[in-house]
Amino acid sequence: MSLRAELIRAIADARDRAVTDGSLAIPSDVELPAIGLEKPAKPEHGDWASNVAMQLTPVARTAPMRIAQIISDHLDHHPAIAEASIAAPGFLNLRLDPRWVAGQVGPILDVEPSYGRETTTHPRSINVEFVSANPTGPLHVGNARGAFVGDVLSRVLAAAGHQVTREYYFNDFGAQVINLGLSVLARRHSTDLPEDGYHGAYVEELAAEMPDELALRAAETPDDAGILIGRWASERVRAGIEASLARLGVTFDVWKEESSLHDEGWVERAVTRLRESGHIHETDGATWFRSTDFGDDKDRVIVRSNGQPTYFASDIGYVTEKFDRGFSELIYIWGADHHGTVARVRNAAQAMGYDREAVRMLLIAWVRFVRDGAEIPMSKRSGEFITLDDVLNEVGVDAARWFFSSRAYTTGIDFDLELAKKQGNENPVYYVQYAHARASSILRIAADAGLAPDASSAGELLSHPAEQALVHHLLDFPDALAQAAERRETHEVPRYAYELATAFSAFYRDCKVLTDDVALSSARLALVDATRSVLANVLDLLGISAPDSM
RNA sequence: GCGCCGGUAGCUCAGUGGAUAGAGCGUCGGCCUCCGGAGCCGAAGGUCGCAGGUUCGAAUCCUGUCCGGCGCGCCA
C-alpha cells in the first residue's frame, strides 16, 4: 500500500472511531464522502492535508473546524505521523516524522527494483488494443501518439500489477486492400489513380519494387489484379509498420487479423447471440443491431442487404473473441474521429451480456503537425505526409516518447517539427536521464573508493531539507504509479519523473555525498542509490533508456 | 441541427470541489577553486474564452453562449 493510502486509512479509522464513541454524529444511512488527501502548496500546511472535515460538514451538521479537531483527537498513532494540526476553514494537516521519512530509504532499497510496483488490490486481465493502423500505408504521426500512449499505458498497467496483453488489429477484410493494389497498379502503368486511391510516395515505391512476375500474373487475370497486387503490397506495408514499431520499442503480444474473426466464426456466433437475445431486426434486407435499446440515436447495420458484413460486425465478433480469451477488461485506443462508434460497440457488448464498463475506449486527440507554422497534411491519400520514421529521424525516439506520453490524450496538440528539433537538447527527457547518469556516476566513484551505500543509519543522518524532500518524492512513487494505472492515463508519469529529477538536483546541489564523514556519506549513497533505482523504474515505465553515462 | 473533445502565462501543456492557479520552453538578470554546468538561483509574465447558477469554497460541478477540432453511412 502506498503511503498516501495508509494515511487515508488512518484518517478513516479516526473518523469511524469518533462516530462509534459518539463524538461525531453521522446518520448511519448516509454514504460517507471519499477522503481527500493531497500535498499542500505551502510547507507550513504540513506534508499532507485532508479536507475530510469539510466534506463531512453537511452530514455531521457540525462546524468543520470542530470536526477536524475531533478527527485529529481520534487519530491513532501511525509511525509516519509526527503531528496533526487543524487549520481554517477546516483542514486536517499532517506532518511526517523526519526520522521515519529518512528511515524509508532502507526499505526502498530492500525491495528495489520492484519498489512501488504491483500494488493494485484488484488485479485484472486487461487487453490493450492500440495502433491497429490499416495495412495500406506507413505509420504516420497520428498513429505515433496512439502507439506511445498504448505502449506506456500497457507498461503502467503491468507495473501496477495487472496482467496485460498488447494487441494489434489488422484490418485486412474490406475493399481497401484492393484499392491499394489498384493504386500500385496505376502507378506502375502511370495511369490515373482510382477514385479514393492512395497517393503517397510509398505507392510509387511499391510500384517500382513490384516483381515482374507479379505484374505478369496481374496482367493475365485483370479481374483479380487488385486483390493480387493488394495482398502483396499490404504485406510489404505491414512489414514496414512492424519495423517502425520495433524501432519505437513498441511491441505486441497478439497480431489479430480481421479476416480471422470471420474465418473462425466469431462474427457469426456473435450475431446469433444478439439474435437470440432479441437485439436484432431485419429491415430493408439488412440485419440491424437494436442499438437504440441502449440509448443510441439509431440502429446499426451488421449485415448489408448484399450479404456483406460491415466493419461493425467484425467489432462485435472481436468483443466476444477477446472476452472468450478470459480478459476482464478491454481497452481500445482509438483516434478521436472514431468516437461515433464507441457507443454501438459498448451497447453490443452489453446486449451480449458483458459489462459495458469493462469495454473502454480511450480516444486519442489528433496531433496537428506543423513545420514553420504551416500545417502538414496527414492523409495517406493526399500526397505528402509525415511518417513515423521522419519524426524519429528528426527528433529522436526518447524525445518523441516523452513528448507524446506527457500530454493528456484528450488534448489536441500542435507539434512543430522545427521547434522539436531545436529543443531536442533542451527536452526535459534529457534532464531526467541526466539525473540518472549523475546518480550512477556518484555511485561509481564511491565504489572505486571502496565506499558502499548503507541505509542502516539513514533515519538519524538524513535530516537536511533537501534530503527530506528527496525521500518524500521517492515515497510518492507508488502512489504516482497507482494513480496513473487507476486513471488509465500516462501523462502523470513524465511529470513525476521530472519532479523527482528536480528534487535530486536540489539534493546534489545542497548535500555533498562523498565526504570525509564515512557514516554520512554511506547514508547519502543509499539515498542516491534509491533515487537511481526509482529513476530507472520510472524511465522504464516510459520505455526510455536510463543511461549510466551520457 | 444533434453529439463528443478542447479553450489556463509569449509558445507547448499540467491542474477531474480546497489555502496565494503551476511546469517546460522562450525572455531578462545572476552562479563554474567543489561528487557530471545536459546543471543551479532569481525576475518578469494570468479578467483560467464569456455570462449566469450551485456552496463555507469553482479553472474544476450545472445551464446558456462564443471560438476551434472531430463525428453523425447498408465506408473503414
Provide the residue-wise pLDDT of chain A in tens; the chain has 550 residues: 789 999 999 999 999 999 999 898 888 777 788 899 999 988 889 999 999 999 898 888 888 999 999 999 999 888 999 999 999 889 999 999 999 999 999 999 999 999 999 888 889 999 999 999 989 888 887 788 999 999 999 999 999 999 999 999 998 887 888 899 999 999 998 888 887 788 888 899 999 999 999 989 988 998 888 889 999 999 999 999 999 999 999 999 999 999 999 999 999 999 999 999 999 999 999 999 999 999 898 999 999 999 999 999 999 999 999 999 999 999 999 999 899 999 999 999 999 999 999 999 999 998 887 776 667 765 544 455 677 777 788 788 888 899 899 999 998 887 777 766 665 667 899 999 999 999 999 999 999 999 999 999 999 999 999 999 999 999 999 999 999 999 999 999 999 999 999 999 999 999 999 999 999 999 999 999 999 999 999 999 999 999 999 8
The Cα A276–Cα A266 span in angstroms is: 15
Q: Are residues A190 and A178 in the same domain?
A: yes
Q: Residue A547: its pLDDT value, please?
A: 95
- Alpha-carbon distance of A38 to A50, in angstroms, equals 7
Residue A8 sits in the same domain as residue A71: yes
Residue the block writes with cell 487507476? A486
Q: Residue A366 CA to nucleotide B65 C1', Å?
A: 26
C-alpha cell at A5: 493510502
- Same-domain check for residues A14 and A139: no
CATH number at residue A212: 3.40.50.620
C1' of nucleotide B6: residue with nearest CA: A411
Per-residue pLDDT at A85: 93
ipTM higher than 0.90? yes
- Using CA atoms, how far apart are residues A1 and A89, in angstroms rounded to an integer? 30
Between the CA atoms of A274, A280, A285 and A286, what dihedral angle is there, to the nearest 10 degrees? -60
* Cα-based angle A73, A77, A78 (whole degrees, multiple of 5): 125
Q: Is residue A296 part of a domain?
A: no
pLDDT at residue A393, as a whole number: 82
Residue A169 lies in a domain: yes
Pair A177, A231: CB distance under 8 Å = yes
Distance A86 CA to B26 C1' (A): 42
Asked if strand B contacts A428 at the CB level, meaning under 7 A, the answer is: yes
SS3 content of chain A, % helix, strand, coil (to 5): 55, 15, 30
Distance, CA of A529 to CA of A523 (rounded, Å): 10
Nucleotide nearest to A509 (CA to C1'): B40
> According to the model, what pLDDT value does residue A379 have?
54
A163, three cell numbers: 496482467
Boundary of a domain, candidates A404, A426, A448? A426
- A499 is in which domain, residue-wise? 428-541
- pLDDT recorded at residue A511: 95
* Rounded distance between C-alpha atoms, residue A508 and residue A435, angstroms: 10
Residues with Cβ within 8 Å of A86's Cβ and at least 6 positions away in sequence, in order, are: A53, A65, A68, A69, A72, A92, A93
Looking at the domain assignment, is residue A159 inside a domain? yes
CATH code of the domain in which A461 resides: 1.10.730.10
Between the CA of residue A520 and those of A116, A354, A525, A527, what are the distances in Å?
Answer: 26, 58, 8, 11
Residue A298 lies in a domain: no
Same domain, A150 and A244: yes
Residue A22's SS3 state is: coil
The SS3 call for residue A123 is: coil
Asked if A255 and A153 sit in the same domain, the reply is yes
In a domain, A294, yes or no: no
For CA atoms A146, A152, A155, A158, the dihedral sign is negative
Domain boundary among A96, A120, A139: A96
Domain final residue, candidates A51, A81, A96: A96
- Predicted confidence at residue A118, as pLDDT, reads 86
What are A402's three cell numbers?
A: 516523452
Beta strands, E only, A387-483: 413-416
CB of A39 within 7 Å of some strand B atom: no
Specify whether A467 is located in the same domain as A418.
no
CB A534 within 8 A of CB A481: no
pLDDT at position A77: 82
Q: Is residue A419 located within the same domain as residue A454?
A: no
Same domain, A199 and A220: yes
Between CA A538 and C1' B36 the distance (Å) reads: 21
- What is the pLDDT, as a whole number, of residue A29? 78
Rounded-to-integer distance, Cα A420 and Cα A437, Å: 23
Look at residue A62 in the predicted model and tell me its pLDDT: 86
* Same domain as A249, residue A391: yes
> What type of residue is A501?
A
Strand B, nucleotides covered by protein (CB < 7 Å) = 2-7, 11-26, 34-41, 56-57, 68-76
- The verdict on A84 and A179 lying in the same domain is no
Residue A295 lies in a domain: no
Structural Rg of chain A based on CA atoms: 29
Task: Tell me the one-letter amino acid at A539.
Answer: L
Quote the Cα angle for A166-A168-A169, to 5°: 140
Look at the alpha carbons of A192, A198, A204, A207 in this order and tell me if their dihedral is positive or negative. negative
Nucleotide of closest approach to A174 (CA, C1') = B76
pLDDT at position A142 is 77
- CA A136 to C1' B67, in angstroms, rounded, equals 36
* Count: domains in chain A: 3
- The answer to whether A387 CB is within 7 Å of strand B is no
User: CA angle, corner A452, sides to A448 and A454, nearest 5?
Assistant: 165
Measure the CA–CA gap between A315 and A334, rounded to whole angstroms: 13
The three cell numbers locating residue A76: 491513532
Q: How far is the CA of A55 from the C1' of B64 (A)?
A: 29
The beta strands (E) that lie in A64-201 are given as: 81-87, 91-96, 125-129, 163-170
A419 contact partners, CB below 8 Å, separation of at least 6: none
Is A102 within a domain?
no
Q: Are residues A422 and A437 in the same domain?
A: no
Question: In Å, what is the CA distance from A36 to each residue of A28, A33, A46, A401?
Answer: 21, 9, 15, 32
Q: Of A175, A248, A244, A236, which is closest to residue A210 (Cα–Cα)?
A: A236
Rounded distance, CA A500 to CA A433, Å?
11
| One domain for residues A392 and A256 | yes
Domain membership of residue A415 (yes or no) is yes
DSSP 8-state class, residue A287: E
Decide if A456 contacts A522 (C-beta within 8 A): no
CATH number at residue A26: 3.30.1360.70
Identify the three-state secondary structure at position A267.
helix
